[in-house]
C-alpha cells in the first residue's frame, strides 16, 4: 500500500498520518534515501530478541565523511562544521544509552546522571552513522506520536525521547503490569517473583534495565523501564545516504563496482577535444564527442556525450548530461544539468538542478534552485 502525506510534516508526522493503517506488533521504518546491504530482517530479529521499544541501525561513517552533511563538496565543504552522531552504548554494545545527532552536537555533551549510574559504564562513539532504519514497537510508537503532537522527526525527536526516558518509562511493555511510583515508596505486588521471571525470560543475562527495576532482594521495584537497542552493522557493510549530488555520484560508482578503478584514473570516451591548459581531475567521466575550450577545470564530475563547453569554465562535483552547451566563464558546483540545456556566458550555479532543454540567461547566479521549463 502507498499512502500520500504532505511533504512538510516530517518522518514522525508521516507515521502519525498513517498510524491507522499500522496493525503489526512491530514496524520497520526505513528512509527512502538509504542505500545499504544491511539486512532489515537482522535488525528486526535483534529488536524482537530484546523486546525493545526501538532499535536503531548504526553503520560506520563513510571514509568520505558522514552523509548527514549533504554537502556538494568543493571549497565550501571545508568551511562547514562537521555534524556527527554522538552515541552512548552499554558495555555489551546492545543498548542505546545516549544519542545526540546533527546540529545538537556541540563542544560539550551532557549525559543523564541516572542513566550513567544505572549502566555503570558507557562507551561513547562518534564513528557511527544513524542509518535511518528503525524498528519500533508499534503500541509505544503510536502512544508517543499521540502524546507528543509536536514531534516531527523520528531521528531528532522520537528516538532521543525514547532513549532519554528508558529508565522512567510510561509505556506498558509485553503485557506485564507496571507498578506506580510514589516518592521513594514501593508498591507491593502479590507475585513479584513471577514478574521477575517474566522479565528475565526475554534475555539470558539481565540488562541494566532489569537490574535497575529490581530491589536488592531480587524483587521487581516500582520503576518502569523500556529498552532502546542498537544494531551495529559490520564494518564491511555498505551504508550510505543518497542526500547530495556527491553522494549520488559516489554511490553510482560503488554500486557499479568501478570505485577502485576510479580512485586514480578517469573514464574518457573516444574523440573528446580538450583546449589548451584544460585539466580533468581524478574521479571524472567525459563522454564521447564532447568538446572543452581553453583553461577549463573539471573535478569529480561527469560530462555526458556531445557537450559543448566554452573557455574558462569550472565544473565541480556535478553531473552534466548529454548535448549540453555551456558558455564561457561559467561556474557549476554540486549541480545536475539535464540534457539539451543551454547555459549562456558567466552563469554561476551552486547546488542546482536544471531541467531538460532549459536556457539559463547570461550572467545569472542561482543557489539551491530547481530550474525547469514551464509546461504549456
List pLDDT tens digits, range 226-265: 889 999 999 888 888 887 777 777 776 676 555 444 444 5
Residues 139/181, Cβ–Cβ less than 8 Å: no
pLDDT band per the 50, 70, 90 thresholds, residue 60: confident
In the prediction, which pLDDT does 122 show?
Answer: 83
In the prediction, which pLDDT does 1 show?
Answer: 73
In the prediction, which pLDDT does 218 show?
Answer: 52
CA distance 224 to 213: 7
In the prediction, which pLDDT does 256 show?
Answer: 54
**Least trusted range by pLDDT, from 81-85, 213-217, 224-228, 277-281:** 213-217
pLDDT band per the 50, 70, 90 thresholds, residue 221: low
Would strands 353-354 and 336-337 be described as parallel, antiparallel, or unpaired? parallel
Establish how many alpha carbons lie within 13 A of residue 172's alpha carbon, considering only the half-sphere containing its beta carbon: 8
Domain with CATH 3.90.550.10 in the chain: 7-173+226-240
Domain with CATH 2.160.10 in the chain: 244-371
In the prediction, which pLDDT does 177 show?
Answer: 40
In the prediction, which pLDDT does 219 show?
Answer: 53
**Mean pLDDT of the region 362-366:** 96
CA distance 16 to 25: 16
Grid cell 562513539 — which residue?
125
- Write the class of the CATH domain 244-371: mainly beta
CA distance 295 to 290: 16
pLDDT band per the 50, 70, 90 thresholds, residue 69: very low
List pLDDT tens digits, range 123-136: 888 888 889 999 99
pTM beyond cutoff 0.75: no
The overall average pLDDT reported for the chain is 78
In the prediction, which pLDDT does 355 show?
Answer: 93
Of how many residues is the chain composed? 376
pLDDT band per the 50, 70, 90 thresholds, residue 105: low
In the prediction, which pLDDT does 99 show?
Answer: 86
In the prediction, which pLDDT does 312 show?
Answer: 96
Angle at 51 between CA 46 and CA 57, to 5 degrees: 35
In the prediction, which pLDDT does 198 show?
Answer: 41
How far CA 231 is from CA of 134, 223, 245, 284, 338, in Å, comes to 9, 26, 28, 36, 39
List pLDDT tens digits, range 299-348: 988 899 999 999 999 999 889 999 999 999 999 998 999 999 999 999 99
Is CATH 3.90.550.10 what the domain over 7-173+226-240 is classified as, yes or no? yes
Residue 50 has a CB neighbour count (10 Å cut-off) of: 18
Establish how many alpha carbons lie within 13 A of residue 354's alpha carbon, considering only the half-sphere containing its beta carbon: 33
In the prediction, which pLDDT does 55 show?
Answer: 96
Amino acid at each position: 500500500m502507498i499512502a500520500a502525506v504532505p511533504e512538510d510534516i516530517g518522518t514522525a508526522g508521516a507515521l502519525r498520518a498513517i498510524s491507522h493503517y499500522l496493525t503489526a506488533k512491530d514496524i520497520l521504518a526505513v528512509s527512502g534515501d538509504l542505500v545499504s546491504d544491511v539486512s532489515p530482517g537482522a535488525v528486526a530479529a535483534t529488536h524482537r530478541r530484546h523486546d525493545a521499544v526501538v532499535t536503531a541501525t548504526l553503520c560506520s561513517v563513510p571514509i568520505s565523511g558522514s552523509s548527514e552533511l549533504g554537502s556538494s563538496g568543493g571549497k565550501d565543504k571545508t568551511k562547514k562544521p562537521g555534524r556527527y552522531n554522538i552515541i552512548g552504548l552499554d558495555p555489551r554494545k546492545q543498548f542505546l544509552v545516549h544519542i545526540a545527532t546533527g546540529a545538537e552536537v556541540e563542544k560539550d555533551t551532557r549525559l543523564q546522571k541516572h542513566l550513567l549510574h544505572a549502566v555503570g559504564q558507557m562507551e561513547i562513539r562518534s564513528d557511527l552513522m544513524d542509518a535511518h532504519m528503525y524498528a519500533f514497537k508499534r503500541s509505544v510508537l503510536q502512544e508517543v506520536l499521540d502524546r507528543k503532537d509536536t514531534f516531527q522527526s523520528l531521528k531528532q525527536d522520537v528516538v532521543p525521547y525514547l532513549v532519554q526516558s528508558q529508565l522512567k518509562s510510561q509505556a506498558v511493555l509485553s503485557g506485564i503490569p507496571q507498578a506506580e511510583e510514589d516518592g521513594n515508596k514501593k508498591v507491593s505486588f502479590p507475585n513479584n517473583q513471577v514478574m521477575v521471571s517474566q522479565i528475565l525470560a526475554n534475555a539470558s543475562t539481565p540488562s541494566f534495565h532489569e537490574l535497575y527495576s529490581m530491589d536488592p532482594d531480587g524483587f521487581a521495584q516500582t520503576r518502569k523501564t523500556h529498552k532502546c537497542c542498537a544494531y551495529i552493522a559490520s564494518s564491511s557493510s555498505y551504508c550510505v545516504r543518497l542526500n547530495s549530488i556527491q553522494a549520488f555520484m559516489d554511490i553510482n560508482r560503488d554500486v557499479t563496482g568501478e570505485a577502485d578503478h576510479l580512485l586514480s584514473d578517469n573514464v574518457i570516451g573516444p574523440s573528446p577535444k580538450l583546449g589548451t591548459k584544460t585539466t580533468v581531475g581524478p574521479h571524472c567521466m567525459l563522454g564521447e564527442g564532447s568538446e572543452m575550450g581553453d583553461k577549463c577545470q573539471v573535478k569529480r564530475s561527469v560530462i555526458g556525450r556531445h557537450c559543448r563547453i566554452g573557455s574558462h569554465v569550472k565544473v565541480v562535483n556535478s553531473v552534466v548530461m548529454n548535448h549540453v552547451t555551456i558558455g564561457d566563464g561559467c561556474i557549476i558546483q554540486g549541480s545536475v544539468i539535464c540534457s539539451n540545456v543551454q547555459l549562456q556566458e558567466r552563469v554561476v550555479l551552486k547546488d542546482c538542478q536544471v531541467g531538460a532543454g532549459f536556457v539559463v540567461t547570461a550572467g545569472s547566479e542561482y543557489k539551491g534552485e530547481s530550474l525547469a521549463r514551464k509546461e504549456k
